[in-house]
Amino acid sequence: MILTNEVNLQEIQYETLVVGLSTHLEQVEGWDAFTATFGPQITELIRSKDLSTNEKEITTFHVTTDSSVKRILFAGIGNRKKLTEDTLRQLFGRVGKTLQKKGYSDVSVLLPSFVNEEISEQDVAFLAGEGLGMGTYQILDYKTTAHDTDYDLAAVELLSQADEQEIVSYFEVGLIYSEAVNEARTLVNMPGNILTATELGEYARELGEEFGFETHILGKEEIEELGMGALLAVNQGSTEEPRLIVLKHQVTDKWEDPIALVGKGITFDTGGYSLKPKDGIVGMKGDMGGAAAVLGAMRIIGETKPNKNVIAVIASTDNMVSGNAFKPDDVITSMSGKTIEILNTDAEGRLVLADAVTYAKQQGATAIVDVATLTGGVIVALGMDKTGALTNDEALFEEFMEASMETGEFVWRLPLTESDKKRIRKSDVADLNNSPGRDGHMIFGGGFVGEFAENTPWIHLDIAGTSGTPSEHDLGPKGGTGVMVRTLASFVERLAEQE
């Protein structure tokens, strides 16, 4: 960490100080002033490796000199020339976890005046907000036994030689991003009997009221009037009504050229009559991860107000088994008028997305990004840590990939060929079939949605692997990850900059 004499080390506000520690202390400006304040033994402890400079390692030093600071958390950044934004974000996440574990709610953070040519001090402030906010997220649970979920990073003092207002602004935006991710995580983690389509609609309504979005939460009768036969087919086995959730962020006098963010909102997925096995059905409360990502992105958009019209469309229901449920061999009619032969009732996400994409087009969307926990096939193809993508527009996808690289959310594009499209369109009784087979499953699932996007520039994101994690990590606990919240918001911001 590069220090400067302009930071008054004698007037640090809080007892806990976070300092990044790089290798090659002789290159660190202001190190003599730092050791003069907190004790020259720090240098010897580093050289003896009692205080680690290793990447993402955190060690605590208890201050014995006369100072308001009682402890320093040294966060190892290794060789600063090799440091990446993603590593720095994860490091701050790990710092947040350490603060949470020890119960330190007020903290001073000494920011560097320079990390390397790729990362500015403003970037560091933003990453600090993201990492600290995401790292301290706690899962909402329903236990009756006493447990501590009240930790809050109450106050953060940023120490920097840069413009204070600018640094604070970047940090606050980072916090906004982290809070939106955490909201999405909470939605994904909520049980299906608590987060129904109705409740998801109420959450969206409150979000719309908070940020002044034009908001429409359409119930079953309105969905029927629109002719959304695909969404209604998935819902017909349920005692819970469906919802079509619509939020509009409008920045121009005339509603024109909006980007549509379309989310799959299946609040619980049994698979219907194509019933999931007992192991595969557990965790299906998270099948609305796409909806959560869209709502999280809209929270960021509401806070940062990018100069771009945005419409969010979420089709929400559960997929249940009953005497009324839709069946394999059924033929249904989507909102677009296209008929669909049902070969697999567990391929329901693409059905609700079909009607949502059609609705978005009718609302004037000139580009569409749909996001969904769509297929197990994406996990087979790419594993649990990569989001799969399809597109029909190279330029749009290139811009999206720039956003994903900024946020560190890995996206990998798969091909969608004419041969794939022919298999989706192969049916003796309808225009399309909803499940051509297991081979290339992710491609067929997303490609089905593309049949409804048609010629509108479109990106499909399959987050079945990345929307949840089975274990704790630097940026959060196990469970919902809030994946794609930050990338969607960053993507919209990039489009806004081009307006």
What residue numbers does the annotated binding site for Mn(2+) cover? 264, 269, 287, 346, 348
From the candidates 71, 205, 276, 421, give the one annotated as an active-site residue.
Answer: 276
From the candidates 350, 361, 386, 486, give the one annotated as an active-site residue.
Answer: 350
350 is catalytic: yes
3-state secondary structure string across the chain: CCCCCCCCHHHCCCCEEEEEEECCHHHCCCHHHHHHHHCCHHHHHHHCCCCCCCCCCEEEEECCCCCCCCEEEEEEEECHHHCCHHHHHHHHHHHHHHHHHHCCCEEEEECCCCCECCECHHHHHHHHHHHHHHHCCCCCCCCCCCCCCCCCCCEEEEECCCCHHHHHHHHHHHHHHHHHHHHHHHHHHCCCCCCCHHHHHHHHHHHHHHHCCEEEEECHHHHHHHCCHHHHHHHCCCCCCCEEEEEEECCCCCCCCCEEEEEEEEEEECCCCCCCCHHHHCCHHHCCHHHHHHHHHHHHHHHHCCCCCEEEEEEEEEECCCCCCCCCCCEEECCCCCEEECCCCCCCHHHHHHHHHHHHHHCCCCEEEEEECCCCHHHHHHCCCCEEEEECCHHHHHHHHHHHHHHCCCEEECCCCHHHHHHHCCCCCCCEECCCCCCCHHHHHHHHHHHHHCCCCEEEEECCCCCEECCCECCECCEECCCCHHHHHHHHHHHHHCC
3-state secondary structure string across 336-355: CCCEEECCCCCCCHHHHHHH
Residue among 107, 141, 128 at smallest CA distance from 16 = 107
What residue numbers does the annotated binding site cover? 264, 269, 287, 346, 348
Alpha carbons 369 and 263: distance in angstroms, whole number:
9
Structure tokens at 349: 């996400």
Query: What does the angle CA 494 – CA 292 – CA 498 come to, to the nearest 5 degrees?
Result: 10
What residues act catalytically? 276, 350
